Structure 1
């Protein structure tokens, strides 16, 4: 089914902050795809990410309706957004949620800002205006000091919503020579890397068939640390088996005297590679295997992908992990926050119900975090440092 977005986006219109966008009008055609069609269609997007994959969302949120929207301009695919439509308690309404979306296929286009604004308009028209739902959009962290995507949403009438407790994301610049990358590293990080390179470690890019080895390492690590895993790790087996090779995470191992001591899964599609999961055994820390692993992952991503940045994720408030990632980001990388959720509703009741649902969810997450801390205070204080190093 195809529909033409009713809204026209005019470059230079102050309400959309499109000055310099390079186009006068962006008229977008919207198509809803099946899950398999969607994952294949976005494989070569500059801004593709694992949270926007249907195979990820179907496993992570099985009870939520997934609606992939693909946008075209003059017959050419230019972007898309996977919208998750979630029923509110007692079925009093629905939320439409877009995380790390909408995505651009070509972020370097002169009219990229106008296209992104046009996609937002189409989402508003479908979910807020037509269906009467609250639309919640969470843009990615920006490489710039200002998040223009979030600023546009605010200018368009979106309201500030939930915020991550620790929003910073740590981005390594992948487009450096080995020499310049080493110079960029913090002095202490470089010291530990030098030590690791003398410890007899070996690095390998593993075949997906070796994923069971990573699973055993990860499960042994979680058993050893005895912490409750609230992550999306249950999606990994589906991601590794995805039928679109470009979207399949890459698997890396570090061995010492033939023994597997560390591993990592990396999402490598698009302009921003992402560290998904790591696992270590109890020998990894004294061997400094994490330094050796990440250094070689950085070099592999530079030489084998088109990614410009390596997103190390956040820290969940752990100071040791902050120091580790900050040292790896070094002088050439950046640390940028994920912005708050931006909420929009055409009808007041939809906004009230939606914000109440988010408030309840945030309260539940806070309680869960406190309970986890009380259950395993010692374990939680050390777990992320071990994962990193």
Structure 2
């Protein structure tokens, strides 16, 4: 019997799912090991970097990882990596899931009913049985509506922290080269055409070339003076992950023998993600960033099942907004991340959880204030309401 089959049997998943009140589907939830988790989720439509136990373990080493799989009708239908953070003095704990729970198949007609069923199981286990605050960060919805976030509010979750610059930029990967180029904003298309005459070359590299990207990234961070709050320290662990479907991909752009740009891309799921990028000072005049992203879009379209290329946010920098907006063009979408959603079934976890989140936000505000005061840091210059 395979590991996944054993998981299904342990979860009692052979029992058929049945519709329950308010459009939910009844699902079974089973905690699994990290090894089973990462073996299983490689083909999930909703998989993302933040739902990898390898990433979470490296990024937050003091937090307990609790991956759970959901099954219905004898089939695994979703999962969620829950991080359990103990509060000071062991007064309680908070259960956090970033971009989870996630569905194995995003386009099935009962997707929202399955999502609702998964939320019920998480609430029952973490909020009611273990008396924790449950904090979920839903994905950005790619349409005009935000069904997951709206469901959480209707389910009794409360709005939590929001992002200062919430917009995320998505390129449509399911276009021909001709349609993709036509979608680009005129100025972006102009710079791309210039880059294609600059003698640049694009290459897909293996993990053995990570040292070259490290040097490129360190030099760029120092040159541009961007404050780096990223999880770049997790990169070696991600490239060593056991399931090859979940490993990132590494790309470079050369001008002659010189590497002038590079990018690390998460390719699994229906949303490929731009994790990290770096360029040399020479790359600006060569427009190497335009050349690189154009070829990454083509590579993702031809070599993955992703429908969208998630470029991330801007951290408040207008230049990033203009660059990403031009690449998204008229066939992609720019949508905001919804706020965090918090749920507590009892008064004490609610009070403790809210206090813990408030304290963390104060630390973040202080950190951002210090960065704004430092003369060796670039200052955000994008208006809060000007991204669209």
**TM-score calculated relative to the size of structure 2:** 0.92
3-state SS in 2 of match to 1:262 = strand
In the alignment, the residues of structure 2 paired with residue 68 and residue 317 of structure 1 have an alpha-carbon distance, to the nearest angstrom, of 33
Give the 3 Å change call, closer, same or farther, for CA 353–204 of structure 1 in structure 2.
same
The secondary structure found in structure 2 opposite 1:140 is coil
Q: Distance in 2 between matches of 1:119 and 1:354?
A: 22
Deviations 1:99-136 (A, max 9, x none): 10000001122221111111100000101000110000
Displacement of 1:227 in angstroms is 4.5
Instruction: Please state if 1:274 is matched with 2:273.
Output: yes
| Paired position in structure 1 for 2:154 | 155
Unpaired stretches in structure 2, ≥5 consecutive residues: 1-6, 382-388
Tell me how far 1:226 sits from its aligned partner. 4.4
Distance across 2 between alignment mates of 1:308 and 1:184: 15
Could you say which residue in structure 1 is the equivalent of 2:74? 75
Over 3 Å counting, the alpha-carbon distance change for 1:91 and 1:9 in structure 2 is farther
Counterpart in 1 of 2:48? 49
Q: Hey, what does 1:164 align to over in structure 2?
A: 163
| RMSD across aligned positions (CA) | 1.7
Corresponding residue for residue 251 of structure 1 = 250
Q: Cα–Cα, structure 1 residues 100 and 258, in superposed 2: closer, same or farther, change >3 Å?
A: same
Change (3 A) 1:118 1:107: same
Q: Secondary structure at the match of 1:96?
A: strand
Question: Could you tell me how far 1:28 is from its partner in structure 2?
Answer: 1.6
Q: 2:339 matched to 1:340?
A: yes
* Preserved CA contact (<8 Å) 2:135 2:340: yes
Deviations 1:221-257 (A, max 9, x none): 2233445422100001110111111011011000001
Tell me the distance in 2 between the aligned counterparts of 1:364 and 1:59: 21
For 2:364, the equivalent position in structure 1 comes to: 365
Alignment correspondent of 1:218: 217
Alignment of 1:8-19 (within 5 A): 10=19, 13=22, 18=23
SS in 2 for 1:164: coil
DSSP-derived class of the 1:340 partner:
coil
Partner of 1:146: 145
CA shift in 2, pair 1:198/1:12, >3 Å: farther
The answer to whether 1:298 aligns with 2:303 is no
State the Cα distance separating 1:4 from its structure 2 match: 6.8
Shift of 1:9: 7.7
Question: So what's the TM-score if we normalise by structure 1?
Answer: 0.92
* Structure 1 residue 306: Cα displacement: 0.6
Match of 1:354 in 2: 353
Q: Deviation at 1:323? A: 0.7
CA distance in 1, matches of 2:178, 2:226: 39
Residue pair 1:9, 1:118 contacting (<8 A) in 2 also: no
Unpaired stretches in structure 1, ≥5 consecutive residues: 19-24, 383-389
| Shift in Å, 1:12 | 6.7
Give the aligned partner of residue 187 of structure 2.
Answer: 188
Note if contact 2:11-2:71 (Cα within 8 Å) is conserved in structure 1.
no
Question: What is aligned with 2:322?
Answer: 323
In structure 2, the CA distance between the partners of 1:76 and 1:200, relative to structure 1 (3 Å rule), is: same
Larger CA deviation: 222-231 vs 28-37: 222-231
* Compared CA separation, residues 351 and 188, structure 1 to 2 (3 A): same
Measure the CA separation in 2 of the matches of 1:190 and 1:319: 19
